[in-house]
Structure 1
Amino acid sequence: MNLGGLRFARRHWGLDWFEIKHLTLTLPRLAPEFRGYRLLQISDIHMDGWMTQRRLTAIMDLVNQQQPDLVAITGDFVTYATELFVADLRFALSRLAPPDGTVVVLGNHDHWQQPELLRQMFRDVGLLDLNNAVHTVRRGNACLHLAGVDDVRAGAARLDQVLAQLPPTDCAILLAHEPDFADVAAATGRFDLQLSGHSHGGQIVLPFIGPPFLPSMGRKYPIGRYTVRSMTLYTNRGLGVIPRLNCRPEISVFTLL
């Protein structure tokens, strides 16, 4: 999409509603070669009647404009009926082109809706499915490990398998759809950062009260940045699902130090 098309999208599809949030994170085990690394997170696309191919394609162009080194997507690609929306997802996500790739994990909605269709789409598009797996980015001899657990609520998370694959040294970032998994991840002492979604930041946030409704495994750490033991956790507000109140959809851009 050219600049004129992006301006059209902003006016007619509400792209200004999507907050691009920039954060700087200091990770103690990050190698000097990765200082200044740009990691972008999106979550909870929830492809459905509102999150159309056209809207998501415009969002992906907005993601590309941030010039991330790597993109992480932390689950819930669909809301329902994967077979109806997987082609639209394939079209939009194929636009992502970060130099170090795009890593993904599934969420609870994905497991309810034919997850193998999504996994095949990941393979077709070239997304790295961190299904209880580890992917390592290298800068010379320096390593940055990206790990992912499959969905916790679906009973598919196998952190033991992840730890068995994860080298004992260097910075490690964990993708886990449900943020409250941070208590388990932090207890291992192996992860510097966990990226999550799931809660949509509460979606409806009432003044002086906060979000009245939160999903299980998204109630303790529902929005933003936390420190859990020695690990940083960030819970992204997600992109999809309406209505929202005082809780804008979010694209998170992290500069690692």
Structure 2
Amino acid sequence: MKKLKKARKSKYPPVKLGLFLSSLCVLIYAYFIEPNWIEINSLQLTLPHLATEFDEYKIVQISDIHVNKWMTQARLKRIFRLVNQQKPDAIAITGDFITRRQERFIPNLTATMGQLVAQDGKFGVLGNHDYWSNPDAVSHAMAQTNVFNLANTFQSIQRGDAKLYIAGVDDIYVGKDRLDLVMQSLPDDGNAAILLAHEPDFADTSAATGRFDLQLSGHSHSGQVRIPFFPPLHLPELGRKYYAGLHHLGSMMVYTNRGLGVTGMHLRFNCRPEITVITLNGKK
């Protein structure tokens, strides 16, 4: 009987050691590897109201840069080089340029974001973390680097007589969104319109207008840490319904980008940072 007990006991230390080493490897991967392993995700989308003059139009979306101590100028330069390599017609940045209470790192944005290049311009909206830091300073950094802040307004892109509208609402989470102002000024002329909104669950409101073909969002980080076969462990308010990827809401689509930075624990697991390359075509 004593020998049997000894035999049983001898099996447990290797099992515990194996579990410890496995957990350690996962933690090292989630901390050092995946947050730096950017996925370039390509989508082909058909917009019902897009004029044929805009066929093969390319929008590169990035989101949730979350500039902080970890998101250094070197990392930003690498990210922006990857964006430029996609040869975008337009660049959309869907909020959270910085992390909460990390405004001292805003100069990193000013020093690097100007290297982004797109034929028809760079467009962005603020997110909740920008408002929890210093929204005026973030807006100033956008202006200095020629990123147009679509705060409850729109811009028009033209190809011949055809137009594509890029609109945006200011942050919904902190109550700065004024979709009514966008709708009052946005021409109802049958041309396609795309809306930038930091929080993806705003899509229920924007889709109800019937005016937008596509909403681009971020905010959720798609959960940031995702255990296979299980829902995300944590999702923020207004990022729980359409927290990842492409969704269809009647005649409108919403795409939620996984973001580039991290918040909370400096970890990403099964949820790589993302640059989205969206190629648009009109309905034939």
Band the TM-score falls in, shorter-chain normalisation: over 0.9
Which of 207, 217, 229 in structure 1 is aligned with 2:238? Answer: 217
Counterpart contact for 2:36–2:273, Cα < 8 Å: no
Indicate the residue corresponding to 1:136 in structure 2: 156
Letter in 2 for 1:231: M
Indicate the residue corresponding to 2:253 in structure 1: 232
Return the offset for 1:83. Answer: 3.3
Q: 5+ unaligned residues in a row in structure 1: which ranges?
A: 1-11
Indicate the residue corresponding to 1:53 in structure 2: 73
**2: CA distance between counterparts of 1:16 and 1:57?**
13
Indicate the residue corresponding to 2:127 in structure 1: 107
Indicate the residue corresponding to 2:225 in structure 1: 204
Which of 46, 54, 60 in structure 2 is aligned with 1:40? Answer: 60
Counterpart contact for 2:34–2:268, Cα < 8 Å: no
Counterpart contact for 1:178–1:198, Cα < 8 Å: yes
**2: CA distance between counterparts of 1:233 and 1:28?**
14
Q: Does 1:244 align with 2:264?
A: no
Which of 79, 87, 93 in structure 1 is aligned with 2:107? Answer: 87
Tell me how many residue pairs correspond in the alignment. Answer: 246
Map Cα deviations across residues 27-76 of structure 1 (whole Å, 9 max, x no partner).
Answer: 00000000000000000000011111110111101110010100000000
Runs of 4+ aligned residues of structure 1 deviating over 4 Å after TM superposition are: 12-16
Q: Does 1:153 align with 2:173?
A: yes
Which of 23, 36, 41 in structure 1 is aligned with 2:43? Answer: 23
Map Cα deviations across residues 166-216 of structure 1 (whole Å, 9 max, x no partner).
Answer: 010200000000000000000000000000000001101111112021000
**2: CA distance between counterparts of 1:26 and 1:65?**
23
SS at match of 1:94: helix
**2: CA distance between counterparts of 1:25 and 1:118?**
31
TM-score calculated relative to the size of structure 2: 0.84
Return the offset for 1:14. Answer: 7.4
SS at match of 1:103: strand
Identity of aligned residues (%): 53
**2: CA distance between counterparts of 1:15 and 1:215?**
19
SS at match of 1:173: strand
- RMSD across aligned positions (CA): 1.4
Pair 140,15 (structure 1): closer, same or farther in 2 beyond 3 Å:
farther
SS at match of 2:254: strand
**2: CA distance between counterparts of 1:227 and 1:180?**
12
Q: Does 1:182 align with 2:206?
A: no
Map Cα deviations across residues 101-149 of structure 1 (whole Å, 9 max, x no partner).
Answer: 1000000000111100011111111111000010000011100000000
SS at match of 2:115: coil
**1: CA distance between counterparts of 2:185 and 2:115?**
30
Question: For the pair shown, which has the larger CA radius of gyration, 1 or 2?
Answer: 2
Indicate the residue corresponding to 2:193 in structure 1: 172
SS at match of 1:109: helix
Counterpart contact for 2:35–2:261, Cα < 8 Å: no
**2: CA distance between counterparts of 1:207 and 1:83?**
35
Letter in 2 for 1:185: S
Pair 253,135 (structure 1): closer, same or farther in 2 beyond 3 Å:
same
Counterpart contact for 2:151–2:168, Cα < 8 Å: yes
Indicate the residue corresponding to 2:95 in structure 1: 75
Q: Would you tell me which structure has more helix in proportion to its own residues?
A: 2
Letter in 2 for 1:255: T
Q: Does 1:253 align with 2:277?
A: yes
SS at match of 2:275: strand
TM-score calculated relative to the size of structure 1: 0.93
